[in-house]
Structure formats: C-alpha cells, structure tokens
Amino acid sequence: MRNAVIQSNCGIMNRDKCIVVGRAAAALIVLAAARVSAASIDAIVTEALRRNPELESYRAAIAIARGERRTAAEYPNPDVNTELGVKTITGGGKGTGQLWTIGLLQPIDLPSRRALRKAIADRQIALAELALESFELELAKRVRLLAYQTVVARKKAAVVEQVAGGFRDITCVLNERAPAGVAPALEARILEANTVALDRTHIEIETQLQVAYYQLNQLRGVAAEAPIEIDAEELRLTPLSSMAQLLALARSGNFDLRMRQVELEQQGFRVQLTGSEKWTGITAGPFVHRENADTHDLMAGVNVRFPLPLWNQNKGAIDSAKAREVQGAASLNAMVRKVESEIAAAVAMYDARLAEIARWTAEVLGRMREAAETADQNYRLGAIPLTTYTELQKQYLDAQTTLLTAQANALEAREKIELLIGKLETGRTPRSRTTQSSK
C-alpha cells in the first residue's frame, strides 16, 4: 500500500514535468482567446449579413436593373429636321429666293409596347432582388455551419486532449518506475505511440479550426487573422415537417424556382413585344416650309411616318422568342424535380442523423465516461491490462467524436433543407423584400 502511494505521488510529480509544455501552449491559446469577447452564432451571422463584401455586387445589380427600368419608362427624344436652299423661277415670272423647312419629329411608341418594356424591366429588378436574397440565405447558412463546426472542433479537441493527457500521465509514471521486466517498458512504448497518434489528431483538428476561423473572418468582411471567439451553444435539432409540407414550401419559397418563374414571365412579355415589333413605331410632328422667290409662300402641316411590313414581318424573331419560352418552361419543370429530389435526400440524411444521435443518450455517454475513468484508475493500480485500458479510452473518444460529428452532419442537412425551402432557419422566414419595383 505504501509503495502504491509513493508511486502515485511520483506519478503526479512527473506528470507535471512531462506535460508542462503542452499545458503552457494550451494556456497561451486560452489567454489569447480570453482577450476577445465570445459572440453568439446568431450575432456572427448578423455581422456577416451586414459586412460581407460580396453584398455590394448584388446591390449594384439591383441599382443597374432599376436604372434600366427608368430607361424603359422614358420617352425618346424628338428629332429636329431642317432644310435650307435656293429657289429660282424662270419663264414668265422670274425670281430667285431662299427656301427653308423646319420640322419636329417625335417617335411615338405603341402604348402596349411601352408597357411590355416596363414589365420586362420590372421582372429584371425582381430577379436582381431574388439573387440578393438567395445570396444572403446561402451566406447565413455557410456562416452558421462554419460557426457550429468550430464549436464541434473545440469539443473534439478537448476530448482528444483529455484522453491523450491520460496516456501521457501514465507514460510518465511508467518511465519513472524502476525496471521490473520487459512488460512495463513495452506498455510505455504502446502508450507513447497512442499519445503521438492522438497528438497528431489534435493538430489536425486545430488546423481545421484555424481554417474555419479564416473562412468566417472572410465572410464577416474582416481580416483573415482577426481573433474570433464563439459561444459553445447547444444544438437543438427538432423533427422536420412532413415531406408534403416541405415540398409545398419549396415550390413557393425556393429561390431557384422563384427566379425561373420570374424569368418565364419575363420571356412571355418578350414574346409579346417581339410580336409587335413588325411595326417598328410611328414618327410624327409639325413642320413649316417657307419659299421666297417670285412670291412669298408659307406652308405648315404635320409629317407622319410609319413602316409598311410588306417583306419583313419579324417571324424569325417571334419563333425564337416562343422557343425560348418553351425552353424556360421545361427548365422550370426540371428544376422542380431537382429540388424535390434534393429535399428528399437531405430529409433522409437528417432523419438518419437524428436516429443516430438518439442512440447516444446522456446516460450512455455517462456510462462510457465512467468506464473510461474507472479503467484509468484501475490500470494505475495494476488491476486491469493495458489492452482493456486503451480500448475503453478509445471507445470513449469514439463515442464523443461520433456524436459531435453526427450533430454537425445533422445541422448541415437541416441547413440545406432550409436553403431549399427558402428559410434562414426552422420557423423563421427570410426578411421580406419588395420583388417588384413600383411603376
């Protein structure tokens, strides 16, 4: 009993010596993170939606579409027509004088064509606004997923460090004991090999964590190396609505489908506009004509010009516009099937991950943790073999990482479903936006 106490004290003292470097590095990381106030995932999403630099490109596209809408509503400028010359009269009455003509010609478009051009421009504004909303939704999804992945990575790193720390402590104890045969030395080497493998896993997790931080900072519109700290929020995964409800939401809310529908409406207006373009327009306006020769003549009237569609009735352009409309309808139907298929796959993935998570209850994880702690204590006392100890530690590690990975995969599937149905998160619709400009 006395020897066991001495060996335990020796193990404690040598453990502190062996892991001082690792603890110091971890302390530096903690101190660096402590300088930054932790932010919630929702706050980080809100910041990204406010500061992401790519948003300006989509806002500029809306401004361009609105400018085109103003152009479509404007009347064309009139033309001024002038003629200057000399008139000479010969014969019975002779005379020479000036003649001139001045006229104002105003292009007059058919009211129906002007309305069609404005309708096409309105749909272009709607497309630009839908593109912005779609990007905001995808941005929020990406930021939320990355933020939770960092939380999962930190938890994984903590569990790996916990198990590796136990291996490292016992290795220190075995190295400090007096040689008692080849078995303790071999066990120490096995533990060292397991520790090295776990340290490598820890480094990989830290690398992934750093990459995720860089990506989050870029999405937030700040420097890639800016410090960031995220609250370790618990993930709440609730059952989804029925498949019929999800498909109905997707048909009315999916951004790709909504954009295809707007494009189809726009193409319908283009078909009508192309059909009316065989009459290219009417030009009309007043004119004044003056002649000064033998007599002084002044004439005034109205000049009207319009085309006669005798040879070119624009049939080729009309046929092309109608074919594009048919093509757009087929593309919309194909997109509906694609969205429905993607929703079904994402729902299956989400349900499978929920079933997996349900098996890892708090009671099961608690038993795994207690078994790992009991194995650690009993191996230090020599009551169980090394294989039992290492197997229980690895099973505990696998249980924790499997649960965290399943939660992350479930969140990814849910985010994909919400993207497909046009919602930022379950139970919350995206912020409303005017999809058609006022005329």
Mean pLDDT rounded to a whole number for the chain: 83
pLDDT surpassing 60 at residue 27: no
Q: How far apart are CA 354 and CA 359, in angstroms?
A: 9
Stretch among 117-126, 172-181, 237-246, 426-435 having the lowest mean pLDDT: 426-435
- Tens digit of each residue's pLDDT (9 = 90 or more) over 209-265: 999 999 999 999 888 888 888 887 777 888 888 999 999 999 999 999 999 999 999
Q: What per-residue confidence (pLDDT) applies to 179?
A: 60
Q: What per-residue confidence (pLDDT) applies to 258?
A: 94
Stretch among 154-168, 203-217, 301-315, 337-351 having the lowest mean pLDDT: 301-315
Return the C-alpha torsion angle 350, 353, 359, 364, nearest 10: -120
Pull the structure tokens for residue 267.
Answer: 């193409």
In this prediction, residues 259-282 reach a mean pLDDT of: 88
The three-state secondary structure class of 277 is: coil
Q: What per-residue confidence (pLDDT) applies to 180?
A: 64
pLDDT surpassing 60 at residue 155: yes
Q: What per-residue confidence (pLDDT) applies to 173?
A: 79
Stretch among 176-180, 302-306, 388-392 having the lowest mean pLDDT: 176-180
Report the run of H or E that residue 85 belongs to, with start and end.
strand 79-89
The three-state secondary structure class of 105 is: strand
Q: What per-residue confidence (pLDDT) applies to 178?
A: 59
Q: Nearest CA to 324 among 390, 269, 404?
A: 269
What phi, psi does 183 have (nearest 5°)? -60, -50
In this prediction, residues 133-138 reach a mean pLDDT of: 94
Count the neighbouring beta carbons within 10 Å of the beta carbon of residue 311.
Answer: 5
Q: What per-residue confidence (pLDDT) applies to 344?
A: 95
Pull the structure tokens for residue 384.
Answer: 């169980």
Q: What per-residue confidence (pLDDT) applies to 91?
A: 64
pLDDT greater at residue 367 or residue 35:
367
Confidence of residue 1 (pLDDT cuts 50, 70, 90): very low
pLDDT surpassing 80 at residue 341: yes
Q: What per-residue confidence (pLDDT) applies to 75?
A: 85
User: Which DSSP string do the residues of 239-252 spell out, in sequence order?
Assistant: PPPPHHHHHHHHHH
pLDDT surpassing 50 at residue 430: no
Q: How far apart are CA 338 and CA 187, in angstroms?
A: 56
pTM of the model: 0.77
Q: What per-residue confidence (pLDDT) applies to 12?
A: 41
Q: What per-residue confidence (pLDDT) applies to 348?
A: 94
Q: What type of residue sits at position 128?
A: A
Are the beta carbons of 129 and 434 closer than 8 angstroms? Answer: yes
pLDDT surpassing 70 at residue 49: yes
Pull the structure tokens for residue 230.
Answer: 């995220």
